[in-house]
Structure 1
C-alpha cells in the first residue's frame, strides 16, 4: 500500500508518480501497454450505435438481459479493475422500476436520443447540454453510471464514474460528492478536469488515467495526501461555472419548448384548414403534447422546380403550408424565439423571390416581448424596398386563437385576422 502525507502540489505529484510506477496500479495494468483497451473504444462505439438503432426500430426490448445495451456494458466490464460492476446500475429491477428505460417507451426514446446526441457531439458544451437535459427528465435510476459509456465516446471530456472513483475523489479532495446524482457528477468532473489540466504534464489528456488514480485511491491501493487540492477561490469559480451553465441550458430548453409549441400550433391549424403541411427538415423528430411532427407533416418538401441549394434552404423554413396535393406554397412561417429576426426575414425573402408565381403569405412568429425589435427590422431600407410583404403574429395571439381558427377558419385568410403587417409597424414606429 502506497502512502502520501501532505496536500501540497508537490505531494500530489509524488502521489501521481507512485501511481504511475506501482506495477499493480490501474495505470500500469490497464491504461498503458494494453491493446485491448484501445480496441474497446471501437467495439463500444459500434455497440452504442446498435443500441440507438434498436431503440429507434422498436427492437430494444423490455429488459437489460439480451439487449444491445448488455453487450455494450459487458465490453466495458471486460476492461476489469476500474470498470468492475459497471453493468449493475443498468440491470432491470422490476420491483423498483429502475432504471426506467425498459418498459417506459418515452424514457427509452429519451435515452436513445441522449446517446445519439452524445455520439455525434463534437464540442464539450454539446455533451454537457445533453447531460443536463437528461437530468431534467428525472428518469428514475438513470444516473451518472452512464458516464462510463460516455467515456468511451469522448475520453478527453468525460471521466468514468463508479463507487470506487467517487470514493477516491472524496478522499483526495476532502469532498462529499454523492453517488447517483448528475449534478454531483458534473461538479466532480469540473474538479477532475481542472486538476488534470493543472498537472497535465504528469497525467494524460485521456481522463482514464485520472479515473484510474481515483479508483486506486478509492480502492485503498493508494493513500492520498491530506488536505484539499483546490483553493477556496478555485472551488467558488467552479461552482459559479456549473450554476451558469445549468441555467443557460434550462433557459435554452425553455425557449426550444416554446418554439416547438408554436410550430405545433401552425401545423395543426394548417391541417385543419385543408393544407398539406411541412416543418423544417431538421425538426421532424420534435413532439408536442405527444404529437410527433413527422406524423403530422409531408414526408418531404415537394420538388419546387428550383436549384438544389435553394430547395434545401426553403426546406429549413420552420413551417410551410402547401395547397392540397400540389407543390404550391400557400403560406410560410418563421418562428423567431431568440435568434436573429433579420435572418428569418431573409429566409422568407429568398422564398418570395425564388417562387414569384406563388401567392405565398409570409409570416414571422415572435414572442410578445420582441415586437418592438421586429418593428425596427421591418423598417430597414432593404426590407421596405422589397416586394415581399410580411405579416407577424405574437405568440400569445396564436396560442389564444388557435382552437377557434381550427374550428371556424376557412383558409389561410383566417390567420391574417390575428396578424399585424409592416404597414401597422410603420404606424407604430412613427
Structure 2
C-alpha cells in the first residue's frame, strides 16, 4: 500500500495549485481562522444558552461561523449546506426542537472547552445517540477548527477520495462511518508523517484532491475518461483562475497594509502588522520593516492576544493602547475579519478604538449587508466602519501630510446604521 500511495502523495505535494499549497501550506487566512471560529462558536453557545439563538440558520450566529469556515478555500466549499434549515423536511432539527438545540449547544461547549480526545469522542457518541434528524458528521468541519490534530474535515469529495484510495464504502451521513474513516486517516497520517503533517488538514486535502478528480489513479481513471474529462479541465481552469486571483488579492492586501502603516507612522502612532505578513512586500518595501518587531504586552488573556496579533494592521499610542485596528478584506475573508474586530472590541475595555474594514470597491454592498447584521447594530456594540481601497489609495498622501490623529479617517470611512 505504501509504495502505491507515495507517488500520489508526491504528485499532491508537487502540484502548486493543489489545496496543499493554495490552502494548507501557504494560506495565512487558514491560520487566522482557528481562533476566529472558536470565538464565533462561543457566541453560538451563549445564544443557545440564553434562548436567543432563533429558529433559522439565516441570521443566527451559527451562520456567521459556517461562513467563516466556508471561506477556507475549496476543501470547505458547501460546508454550510448541512446546516441550512429545510422547513419541508424539518432538518436539521436544532431550530424548532428546544431539547435538540440545547443538546447541540452543550456538545459545542464541551468540545470547545476540552483538549482531550476521549472527551470529544464521548460527546460525539452522546450526540449520535440522540439521533437528531439531519445533524450528522458535517459537524466534523467545526471540530477540525477546534482540534485540527485529532479530527479531519468531512465532505463528499473527501469521502469519495478515501473510498477510492482504500476500497471502502464509507457513507456521508453516519457518525460511526466518520469515526471509522478518521481512525484510518490517523493511522495513514502516522505512517506518512514526514510527508503530511500533524495537522489533519494536509491528509484531508489529499483525499479531497483524489475525490475531486485532480489526482488520477487506477480506481478513478475509467470514470475520468468516460465522464470527467471536460469537467476536470473546467475544474483545472477554475483552480488556475482562483490561484491567479489569490496572487492579485495578496498584492492588493499588502498594498493596503503598506498605506495603513505609513499613515499610522505619519500620525505619530506605533504600528503593528500581522505577524504572518512581516515578510510580505509591496513596491519593494518589506512590511515587517514598517512594523514593531513584536506586539507590546496587552492587558488581555493570551488567547485574545494571539488573535490580536493576526489583525492586519494596528495603531498603538505611547501607552500601548490600541487606537485603531484594520482588517483588509479579500474575496475570502469578510466574515472572519468582522469576527476578529468584534472579538477585539469585546476585549478592549473602557477606551474607544476605531475598528475598520478596508474593502475592495466591488464588495461594498456585501460589506454593508454584513455590517447591518442585528448583532453588530446593538447599542452596546461599537460600530465597525469601512474604507474602500480606492479612497485609501488616493487619499493616503493627503492624510499623511495634513492629519494629526486617527480622526482623519472619518473623512473617508463609512458606518452602517444610526449612531
CA offset at residue 201 of structure 1?
1.1
CA distance in 2, matches of 1:167, 1:146: 18
CA distance in 2, matches of 1:130, 1:97: 24
CA distance in 2, matches of 1:106, 1:224: 46
CA offset at residue 224 of structure 1?
3.7
Q: Report what 1:82 is aligned to.
A: 75
CA offset at residue 225 of structure 1?
5.8
Q: 1:95 aligns with which of 72, 80, 88?
A: 88
1:66 aligns with 2:59: yes
- Over alpha carbons, which structure has the higher Rg? 1
Q: Report what 1:17 is aligned to.
A: 10
1:43 aligns with 2:40: no
Secondary structure of the corresponding residue to residue 152 of structure 1: helix
Q: Report what 1:165 is aligned to.
A: 158
Counterpart contact for 1:168–1:215, Cα < 8 Å:
yes
Q: 1:148 aligns with which of 141, 146, 169?
A: 141
CA distance in 2, matches of 1:75, 1:198: 32
Secondary structure of the corresponding residue to residue 114 of structure 1: helix
- 5+ long unaligned stretches in structure 1: 1-7, 228-430
1:121 aligns with 2:114: yes
Number of residue pairs aligned between Structure 1 and Structure 2: 220
Counterpart contact for 1:60–1:68, Cα < 8 Å:
yes
Q: Report what 1:130 is aligned to.
A: 123
1:112 aligns with 2:108: no
Q: Report what 2:132 is aligned to.
A: 139
Question: Are residues 131 and 101 of structure 1, via their aligned partners in 2, closer, same or farther at CA, if it must alter by over 3 Å?
Answer: same
Q: Report what 1:31 is aligned to.
A: 24
Cα RMSD for the two superposed structures: 1.2
Q: Report what 1:351 is aligned to.
A: none
CA distance in 2, matches of 1:155, 1:49: 18
CA offset at residue 143 of structure 1?
0.2
CA offset at residue 139 of structure 1?
0.2
TM-score (norm 2): 0.52
1:177 aligns with 2:170: yes
Question: Are residues 224 and 155 of structure 1, via their aligned partners in 2, closer, same or farther at CA, if it must alter by over 3 Å?
Answer: farther
CA distance in 2, matches of 1:121, 1:224: 39
Deviations 1:228-256 (A, max 9, x none): xxxxxxxxxxxxxxxxxxxxxxxxxxxxx
